[in-house]
Chain A
Amino acid sequence: NAGVTQTPKFQVLKTGQSMTLQCAQDMNHNSMYWYRQDPGMGLRLIYYSASEGTTDKGEVPNGYNVSRLNKREFSLRLESAAPSQTSVYFCASSDSPLRYGYTFGSGTRLTVV
């Protein structure tokens, strides 16, 4: 099925460890996004990439880095995980977010202990 694929689905990290969340889309969308979702907070934008080769900070970028590897792939890296980064992370893609909305992946549930 066409869509957005995120890996892994679940991850437990120790404080200070690093990891990369992977995201790939097969809809030929130009824009890709990383969000985090916390209880009672809705979705908060971490980073986005409006097109291949560009990335920009969102609302909560501290502690994260991203790479737009090519048009299909957009990865999120935590260099030194902290308990405050315990969250559910969603990758999304779109060509026209205001008209067609985003297509979201199924999420990565990350726990930092």
Chain B
Amino acid sequence: GQQLNQSPQSMFIQEGEDVSMNCTSSSIFNTWLWYKQDPGEGPVLLIALYKAGELTSNGRLTAQFGITRKDSFLNISASIPSDVGIYFCAGRGDSNYQLIWGAGTKLIIKP
């Protein structure tokens, strides 16, 4: 089935570092969603984006809807231990009713 390309697959970072991850699609999307999954839990919505170029923040998290409408970016500033988990992007275009999900970016804080 169709999937988004999400990268990186995993990230090892030091506490306090900034984090960047992205998702790309081969087709145009009109909605991008970013979720976080804590261990043993279901994903939780972080940020929703609806317009090309849109930049939206949620605390230390900022996400952008790419101008080409084929990509989206998530940045986390000054990472803290509770940021660990898996971050998923999900998107929807005109040709797909249901959301399409990326494979996730696993964030790990170096001890």
Contacts and interface: CB of A to CB of B under 8 A. Distances in A.
A binds B: yes
Interface of A: 4, 40-45, 48, 58-60, 90, 92, 97-102, 104-107
A60 B1 contact: yes
Interface stretch (B13-21, B53-61, B62-70, B101-109): B101-109
Nearest to B4: A42
Nearest to A105: B42
Interface in B1-41: 1, 3-4, 6, 9, 31, 33, 35, 40-41
B93 to A, nearest CB: 12
Nearest to A40: B103
B42 A107 contact: yes
A58 B98 contact: yes
B80 interface: no
A104 B1 contact: no
Nearest to A58: B98
B107 to A, nearest CB: 16
